[in-house]
Chains A and B, each alone.
Chain A
Amino acid sequence: MANTQTDPGVIPGPTSRAFDMLGGTPLIWRMASLALFFAIWEIAGRTNFNWAFPTFLETMAALWEMLANGSMFSAYGRTLEPLVIGLVISLGIGVSAGVLMGLRRDVEWITLPVFITMQAAPMAALIPLITFVYGIGLTSKVLAVCMLAMPVIAINSYKAVRNVPPSLVDMSQSFMGSRRQQVFKIILPAASPMMFAGIRLGVAEGFSGVVLAELLITPTGIGDLITFNRSVAKFAHMYAAIFSIVAFAVIAVSLLHRVETSLFRPEKRGA
């Protein structure tokens, strides 16, 4: 069912068919693909092409060691703090700014260029600037998360509101709906799927932000595990820390994706 129902007006090309096939692949094939990747990693590690590249098994052993001695959990405790605070702020400001920009032209003129600049600017280059102003504490790290996560959330919310089908708004007007009813009963519900997609992208960016901040500002949490193990040349531990943050981000973003499909795409439920 899910494979046949595509958006009207979109012609399925060879790539979309390939994606459909991937989406419909049973779990076992996805596991096989992961297993293949890990096998290649293991072989690459064993060839010693680089002195600092550990094998997959060494990395997993290091990961297990860090999980067992608790250093991984305390690191995530530190890392999650700026990440969660930053994401909450980004969601609040990003969504409301985006919706306002979508609804009002004057707000759009003033605010949109700011977000477009923030999205286009290479943030790693601006992080030192944050530290000059806000020091090396939690504030700077929260700001780094916001600077990466907020633009994509705001711009997606703005586009979502802008792209609400005009026929729906016309309908609300013909039913004598007030502006308030128009916004809360028509525009926001119609915009929410795309807004949610923006939030998902924003969370993914937030992970980049927090890791960048922990690598560039002061090493804490997962950034500390990476830099410390690098400085004492425990490369298996360093890769294990990187692996864990990648896996964590992938899981978090996939979970959000699931929430998104089950909330907004009734036709894809259970797919």
Chain B
Amino acid sequence: MSLSRRLILKATTGAAALAMLATGALAQSDPLRVGLGDIASVESLNLLIAMERTKERGVPMEMTFFNSEDVAVQAALSDEVEIGVGAPYAFMANSKAPIRMFYRMSTLLFFPVVNSDVYSDWTDLDGEEVTVHSRGSGTEALMRLMEQVHDIEYSNLSYVPGSEVRAGAMLQGTINASIVDATNFRLLQEKGGAKFMRLPLDGVNATDEALYASAETLEARADDIQIFVEELLRTWQDIADDPAIVGELRAQYDLLPDLPEDVAAEAVPYFAEAAENGIYPLDGGEPQDARDDIAFLAAAGQVTLNPDEVDPTEFWDFTALEAAKAAQ
């Protein structure tokens, strides 16, 4: 073996060793990136707090924002983010892509509301027009489900995006039956008093947002994800115990520093109300929730699956959650 050849050999082994070292070090400090299909708002504060607490335990985390939840799913599949936010049941059912949800962050809470001068009951809505957010949205799914539960049929579903727009239209009297979120339901009560009546939504248990990751990530980063889930459970519990903590922790971690004061001031009342309504579940999800979700989405026509035959593990991976609960 000539000298030059030996030199080359040495150099390449050296480079290879260096590369391995570098990737090893990189893997250590690789952050868990969370892809949000929206911009961060007051409602994301609990997630942001849990991320800060995870960072404090030595797991670097980052948040990335996408235009829509669909893009977040694609990013999670192509490893551009490790964790996505959303409830991509339809995507998972139709594409059979290897992603699994691992933490249930929030449940769907909407208020079907009618003008009490015109309607007083679900059965009054038979043959009437109802306004929802958009096609394929949770509001549409809820109203379709109620159609089945109460054995009625709307004459038409019209689409007006934005709870605040629909609430405005109810106040103006342009529409008489719609479905709005908690904030706008409160607005309707303040401005309209007894004129606006809430119709009961019984037996609906549906996930609004969950955290998901690719099967590969769930396995490769199992330890980091378990720490994250532990902090999620702790944060959700802390907020449920004392919603005021959101304001304190926001200041402590300097979260969403650009929020205008009046918007930031809504954070604590929002979480107090959310805790009261049980929007943020404290158990992180369980197999029965997955079945309920499927039942809800099937009723709304978004998936064609039988909830009784569905195997929750096709959508969920509870390993991290169980490990986190055991560690607590």
Residues of A within 8 A of B (CB): 50-52, 136, 218-219, 224, 227-228, 230-235
Q: Which residues of chain A have C-beta atoms less than 8 A from B134's C-beta?
A: 219, 227
A52, A219, A224: which has the most chain B beta carbons within 10 Å? A52
- CB <8 Å contact, A231 and B70: yes
Q: Which residues of chain A have C-beta atoms less than 8 A from B91's C-beta?
A: 51-52, 233
- Which of B55-63, B92-100, B279-287 contacts its partner? B92-100
| Contacting residue for B90 out of A50, A218, A219, A233, CB 8 A | A233
> 17 other contacts beyond A50-B74, A233-B94, with CB at 8 A cut-off?
A51-B96, A52-B91, A218-B159, A219-B159, A224-B135, A227-B134, A227-B135, A227-B136, A228-B136, A232-B90, A232-B302, A233-B90, A233-B91, A233-B93, A233-B95, A234-B94, A235-B94
Q: Which residues of chain A have C-beta atoms less than 8 A from B135's C-beta?
A: 219, 224, 227-228, 231
- CB <8 Å contact, A51 and B70: no
**Which secondary structure dominates where chain A touches chain B?**
loop
Q: How many A-B Cβ pairs are below 8 Å?
A: 43
B161 at the interface (CB under 8 A from A): yes
Interface string of B185-203 (1 = CB under 8 A from A): 0000000000000000000
- CB <8 Å contact, A51 and B90: no
The 8 closest A-B CB pairs, nearest first, are A51-B97, A231-B136, A233-B91, A233-B90, A51-B95, A233-B94, A228-B135, A232-B90
Size bin of chain B's contact surface: 20 to 34
- CB <8 Å contact, A235 and B161: no
How far, in angstroms, from A13 to B159 measured CA to CA in the complex?
Answer: 55
Q: Which residues of chain A have C-beta atoms less than 8 A from B95's C-beta?
A: 51-52, 233, 235
How far, in angstroms, from A232 to B159 measured CA to CA in the complex?
Answer: 17
Q: Which residue of A lies closest to B74 (CB)?
A: A52
Which B130-176 residues have a C-beta within 8 angstroms of A?
134-137, 159, 161
How far, in angstroms, from A232 to B70 measured CA to CA in the complex?
Answer: 10
Q: Which residue of A lies closest to B297 (CB)?
A: A232
B232 at the interface (CB under 8 A from A): no
Q: Can you list 21 contacts pairing A with B, beta carbon distance less than 8 Å?
A: A50-B74, A51-B77, A51-B95, A52-B91, A52-B95, A224-B135, A227-B134, A227-B135, A227-B136, A228-B135, A231-B90, A231-B136, A231-B137, A232-B90, A232-B94, A232-B302, A232-B303, A233-B93, A233-B94, A234-B90, A235-B94
**CB proximity of B23 to chain A, nearest CB, Å:** 25
Which B102-143 residues have a C-beta within 8 angstroms of A?
134-137
B88 at the interface (CB under 8 A from A): yes
**CB proximity of B89 to chain A, nearest CB, Å:** 9
Q: Which residue of A lies closest to B134 (CB)?
A: A219
Interface string of B287-310 (1 = CB under 8 A from A): 000000000000000110000000
How far, in angstroms, from A224 to B96 measured CA to CA in the complex?
Answer: 24
How far, in angstroms, from A231 to B136 measured CA to CA in the complex?
Answer: 6
Q: Which residues of chain B have C-beta atoms less than 8 A from A51's C-beta?
A: 77, 91, 95-97
How far, in angstroms, from A233 to B77 measured CA to CA in the complex?
Answer: 14
Q: Which residues of chain A have C-beta atoms less than 8 A from B93's C-beta?
A: 233
Q: Which residue of A lies closest to B92 (CB)?
A: A233
Q: Which residues of chain B have C-beta atoms less than 8 A from A218's C-beta?
A: 159, 161
Q: Which residue of B lies closest to A217 (CB)?
A: B161
**CB proximity of B71 to chain A, nearest CB, Å:** 10
**CB proximity of A18 to chain B, nearest CB, Å:** 37
- CB <8 Å contact, B74 and A233: no
How far, in angstroms, from A52 to B75 measured CA to CA in the complex?
Answer: 12
Given contacts A51-B95, A52-B95, contact A232 B136 (CB under 8 A): yes
